[in-house]
Each structure stands twice: as C-alpha cells, then as structure tokens.
Structure 1
C-alpha cells in the first residue's frame, strides 16, 4: 500500500495527510481525509467508557452515545482499511461492567468479519502440578501485572480482549511471525506443518506491563509489544502502513518504528501527542546509535 521511503517523517501520504506523523485531530475527521483502502493494519485501544481520567476526553458518556460513537469509528476504519488488511481492536472493561467489550464489538459487526479473538493475558498464576514436567520450572509460578480488586464479589481482571477484524474473514496471517518454540522437540518433522522449531502461538498472548515506578503519563496505554505482535501477525511487508486512531502516547508508532514500517495516527490531546513525539524521537535516536 502507500508508504514512504526510508521512514520519511511528514511526507504526503494517502489523502494528503502526512505519514509517520501523529495528527492532533479527531480520528473520525482524520479518517475522512484518508484515501479509501489506504491502510494495511489498524491497531488501537479506544477509551472504554469506564471513567478513566483523560486530559481532553470525558470517559463517562451515556452508554448509547458511546456505542454510537464506536459505530462511527468502525465505519470510518472500514472505509480506509485495505481489502486484505487487519484491524486489531483492544477493548477491556471493569469488574462490575464486563459487558463493555462485547457491546463494543457489536458496533463493528456491520462493517467487519471477526476473524480471530485474542486474549491478552496480563497476569497469570499456574500451579506446578498443572505445568507438567519442565526442567526450568521448579515450582508454582505467578507472573505479570496483577491488580487486586477491593471487592468480595468480583475477580481481578487479568486479561483483555483483542478483536481481530478483517473485511471478509479470509486474510492470510504470518502465524510464525510471532511463533514460539515447541516444548516437545519430537514434534519437529513428525507433524507435517512442523518443519522447524516454531509453532503457532495461538490466541492467548502473555504481555505484561513493564514495572511501574512512577505515575503513568496516560491512564490506559498498552505495552509496545502488543501492537508489535499484531503487526507481525498480519505480516510486515515493504510499504506497510499502520494506523492508530487513538494514538495516545505513541505505543503503536514505536512498534511500527521497531518493525521498519510506516505509521499514521490521530490524538486529540496535545499533551499526549507531545509525550508520544518525545518517545518517538528517542527511539529514532537509538536507531541511529545502533
């Protein structure tokens, strides 16, 4: 699709908007300015409407208004996504309102096929007796970013959904692009598909947050590894263009830079965009030093 040679920042892109740039504008208006079918991969996490403290957005809209807005986002994304493109939508909820991701996904149903449902596991506990016999695991394990819930009724939420939408449900993926080694090496060569020591990761992805030592600059940013894995799964090709309608502090842009593909994003809050641009500049500088 439309890209920019050598990651040139600010060059004209689809519909005249510069690529490798985060635009300070509403994403629906921004997507209207993009050419139809010009985006290869969309990775995003919209506000969940659960009362998070954003700088420039009210995250406590009436449910119908919020869902109507999500429907407009879905329609705009469907127009700009290429026929062979992938849209990865990360949506979570909260313990006393678990319907949110399921309500949101229904707004996308008129515009997309739901090709895969991925479970982003942020924290997990596994007893040794359930692990089996692995020499590197000596006891029970509990790993990841765990947030306790101050309630006797609800369980702590240790995972979120990533809904993988496509136009027709027939997009071929690079599953080994995020593959994992076989635990049982005898599978290699024994199974027809096992030509090397790498298998399909499946739809459960353990992606913990980095350890937090200070307050977050953004209340709901996802780890850079999440968009990186989504882009790898879809497949990285020359000229690939990745869009994030809710760019926040730039995690999707940083993943695109790591993978050497182009990005375009929208963010209504100038302070978040400034943080994102600082992070991007640091990443570009690190690239040059390496």
Structure 2
C-alpha cells in the first residue's frame, strides 16, 4: 500500500485532513475524542459548551463515517456524560454491537461525597453492515490450567473454545496507566496499549488501515504498527506529535501474531497538513 496518507500522522485539524482520505478506504475507525471535561490539550477542544461540543461531534462523525469500507467498524471512547447523545448520533447511521465498559481499576479512595465515584470509560462498538470484519480468535483470553482441568469431562474433549480461550466479554478490567508505568507518555488521557491492540486485532484485517482522527499520544498508530496493520490520523498539538513520532520510532517487542505478507512497513512520519 503506497497511498500518500497511509502510515502518516498529520499535524492538522481532523475535519480538514479527512478530506484527503478516499471514501471507502478505511477498515477501522478507532478514536478517543475529547470528552469535554475541561482538560487542557493545548487548545479549546475539551472546553466547549454542551451545544457546541455535540455539534462539533456531529461534524467529525459526518466527515469520518464515509471513509469506512462497507464491512468496516468503529470504536469510540466516551464519558458517561455524553455517551447517550453520541450513541444516538451513531445509531442513526450504523448498527451498535456493544457498549463496552473499561474498568480503569481506580483505587477506592477520594471522589465525590454527593455521588458514586466514576471509575470507568464507556466504549461504543459500531458496524456498517452485518458482514463486518471481526476476528474473535485473535483476541480470545486463554483459560488457566485449573479451569481446563475442571473441564476435563468427555463432553469438553476437543472443544475449540477450551483450547483457544474465551470471548473477552463487554467489561474490560485493565488498569489505567499510572505515572510510573513504562508505557506512560506525557499525555493526560493516554489509553493502555492492551485495550487498543485488542480492538485492532479483532476489527481490522492484517494489512488493513486504521483511522484515528484524534491521535493524542499515538497509541492507535503504535498498535497498528505492532500488529501488522496500517494507520492514518491527525493531531493538532505539536508536543503530542513529538510523542507520537518518538513512540513509533522506538524499538518494540515483536507482536504475538505473525504479520502477513504485504503489510506496510514504511517508516513513520509526522507531517504538517497539506489539505
């Protein structure tokens, strides 16, 4: 694959940049847009009025969805505060397959005294049509030896699921990245690579293309690179672009899944937008 927009992260606004991506060329949209909770990303994207935030969300959804292939999928990270409204936007255009709860494993301390402490993010999994790409075997979780032993009766002998593992379900308990975590970059809302790689391996074929309109610290691009997929995306903050470039250039352990012949191995680049 040698398209000029593939395996590139562009330093520009996604609404402008997505215009250069051909319609029907993306296998998976995987994105963690601003939650509008007032965080500082170096711009005002997370500090809008509710009305403006939802209008902006509708704008980028309208720009992004035509880029998906007919069998493509979308994962979107959201806060519970706006998930209902944004899910409705997407359900008017796509089929919702799951609401995934990411349990961040936040310690039981601190928080509000007038409501329950929020310790999760909401993830929506949407598809364009019924024959969407989905490789469950690539993301199954192995059973431990004790469980396998308990399923040793004859009715379980030869059962594929017992050997390859179980479906990850829709509650994912994965610790948030603490300050001392070796994976942690200087970004306030960085998502764990474990979660992003699961989505990429399940919903983008090897050699396919993942689009992230809001790259942040570049975890989507890194997950794509590690698993033999291609990526493209956008990030406005120059400091975050530097982080992305550094993470993509750093040596990484080989992914568990073997890359298929033809996967793009081009060197990563951060480029100014030219739309």
TM-score tier by shorter-chain length is 0.7 to 0.9
State how far apart, in whole Å, the 1-side matches of 2:108 and 2:47 are: 22
Instruction: Please tell me whether the aligned partners of residues 204 and 210 of structure 2 are also in contact (alpha carbons under 8 angstroms).
Output: no
Which of 213, 220, 223 is the matching residue for 2:189? 220
How big is the shift at 1:172?
Answer: 4.4
For 1:138, the equivalent position in structure 2 comes to none
Instruction: Please tell me whether the aligned partners of residues 41 and 242 of structure 1 are also in contact (alpha carbons under 8 angstroms).
Output: yes
State how far apart, in whole Å, the 2-side matches of 1:44 and 1:82 are: 17
State how far apart, in whole Å, the 1-side matches of 2:77 and 2:139 are: 18
What is the aligned length?
A: 246
Give every structure 1 segment of 4 or more consecutive aligned residues whose post-TM-superposition deviation is greater than 6 Å. none
State how far apart, in whole Å, the 2-side matches of 1:122 and 1:264 are: 27
For 1:260, the equivalent position in structure 2 comes to 228
Corresponding position: 1:38 with 2:25: yes
Give ranges in structure 1 of 5+ residues lacking alignment. 5-11, 93-97, 124-144
State how far apart, in whole Å, the 2-side matches of 1:217 and 1:195 are: 40
For 2:93, the equivalent position in structure 1 comes to 111
For 1:146, the equivalent position in structure 2 comes to 107
Which of 155, 158, 161 is the matching residue for 1:190? 155
Q: Which moved more, 1:200-209 or 1:33-42?
A: 200-209
SS in 2 for 1:196: helix
User: Compared with structure 1, are the counterparts of its residues 195 and 149 closer, same or farther at alpha carbon in structure 2 (3 Å cutoff)?
Assistant: closer
State how far apart, in whole Å, the 2-side matches of 1:51 and 1:59 are: 5
Q: Which moved more, 1:153-162 or 1:248-257?
A: 153-162
Q: TM-score, normalised by structure 2?
A: 0.81
Which of 42, 62, 66 is the matching residue for 2:49? 62
State how 1:240-255 maps to structure 2 within 5 Å.
240-255=208-223
For 2:102, the equivalent position in structure 1 comes to 120
State how far apart, in whole Å, the 1-side matches of 2:187 and 2:127 are: 29
How big is the shift at 1:190?
Answer: 3.2
How big is the shift at 1:278?
Answer: 1.1
Q: TM-score, normalised by structure 1?
A: 0.77
User: Compared with structure 1, are the counterparts of its residues 213 and 196 closer, same or farther at alpha carbon in structure 2 (3 Å cutoff)?
Assistant: closer
State how far apart, in whole Å, the 2-side matches of 1:241 and 1:233 are: 13
> In the TM superposition, what whole-angstrom CA distance separates every residue of 1:102-160 from its partner, at most 9, and x where no partner exists?
1222222222211222111111xxxxxxxxxxxxxxxxxxxxx4374432112222211
State how far apart, in whole Å, the 2-side matches of 1:147 and 1:39 are: 40
SS in 2 for 1:73: helix
> In the TM superposition, what whole-angstrom CA distance separates every residue of 1:15-73 from its partner, at most 9, and x where no partner exists?
xx421111011112111211011010111100000101111234121111111111111
State how 1:1-290 maps to structure 2 within 5 Å.
4=1, 12-13=2-3, 17-92=4-79, 98-123=80-105, 145-146=106-107, 148-182=109-143, 184-185=147-148, 186-187=150-151, 190=155, 194=161, 196-213=163-180, 217-237=186-206, 239-283=207-251
Instruction: Please tell me whether the aligned partners of residues 148 and 156 of structure 1 are also in contact (alpha carbons under 8 angstroms).
Output: no
Instruction: Please tell me whether the aligned partners of residues 72 and 133 of structure 2 are also in contact (alpha carbons under 8 angstroms).
Output: no
